[in-house]
Amino acid sequence: MPVMFYIGIAVTVIAIIALVISVSVDSSRSKRHKSAYEDTNASDTEIRVEDIVDEPNSDAQITDEPVSSKMTVQRFDGTWYKSDVDASQKAIFSVSMQYNDSFEFRLEIWNGSQSAVISDTAFYTDETHAEYSPKKKVAILFERGADYVTITHKGKNSDFKIGSKYVIDGKFTETEPEYEVESTVTASYDYYVYQSEAVKTALSETLSEKDLALYKEMMENGLKSPIDYERTTDKNGNLINVDAELNAVKYYAHLSNGYDMIFICSENADIYLLFYNSEEIIYCTNDKNYYKKMPASFQAVADAKNIKPTYR
């Protein structure tokens, strides 16, 4: 047969083979394309349709407010005055801006003619409580009552950048109290007599290491000025508590651990100290005339609690 006949057959066979390969490749490409599409769809199904909102639904509630905004909080708006102190240790708590989950506050505290300010943002912890916590294990706690605000704190005054002589804790009302001074004592005193070197030396010589540590903690973190003590004005114009029997300045302190303290000291460095809680009463003094006889104000505490004091 002519050579051209065989050449024609060869060309035809090659064309047929090429066509088969082309169809196979296209089919493979189609399958790969389809597989990739299916994989993409499978990935997309992980995203819920309701998470992608193009237009707001009239029935849906879309908000960026925090969860706490859903609470019906008792607001702290306004100005509140500490109600259980005298004029020398007054305090004013005011709220300038109120938000759904927080409020901006200013707490100004006096000690005599000097004052200190704590100002920041407190956040609600529930419907009637809020907290300002500048760092771990440190906080000022706010409680909203029916017609009052109670403020307490955890930590040291220095954690809030104020001195130890300022009293943070207290009950605040919307009406400023009428500060009164009622006293039959006429002697001149110094509120800061407890800071004198003579009194500090007497304390270190009289108290055990444990009692001295408790005294320092009480004076630094628990010092208060209750309204049931006899009062007068000291030589610097500060309103102070006094003990008429001992003719000396009287201090009261309370800690959240349950301990209370009454401390009396004179300019002659006579010291009288009473620690007490619900289980024990501890009495210390350097006055030989009162070693086994407590001052009347101390004895009244022991009688009220019906606890026999421990003398040290």
Q: Please give the Cα distance from 177 to 29 (Å, whole number).
A: 88
Cα–Cα distances (Å) from 300 to 54, 62, 219, 274, 297, in that order, read 75, 63, 22, 12, 5
> What pLDDT is attached to residue 183?
52
**Tell me: the pLDDT tens digits for 112-141?**
767 889 999 999 999 899 999 999 999 999
Place of tokens 């051209």: 4
Please name the amino acid found at residue 289.
N
Q: Are strands 281-285 and 310-311 parallel, antiparallel or unpaired?
A: parallel
CA–CA separation, 208 and 199 (whole Å): 15
Give Cα separations from 66 to 46, 135, 303 (angstroms). 27, 22, 52
- Beta-sheet strands, E only, within 177-303: 223-224, 230-233, 239-243, 248-254, 260-265, 271-276, 281-285
Q: How far apart are CA 217 and CA 223, in angstroms?
A: 9
Give the integer Cα–Cα distance in Å for 299 and 293. 9
Q: Which two tokens stand for residue 295?
A: 């001052």
pLDDT band of 255, cuts 50, 70, 90: confident
10/32: higher pLDDT: 10
- Residue 279 backbone phi and psi in degrees, to 5: -120, -25
What are the pLDDT digits (tens) for 18-59? 555 554 544 444 444 333 334 434 433 343 433 333 333 333
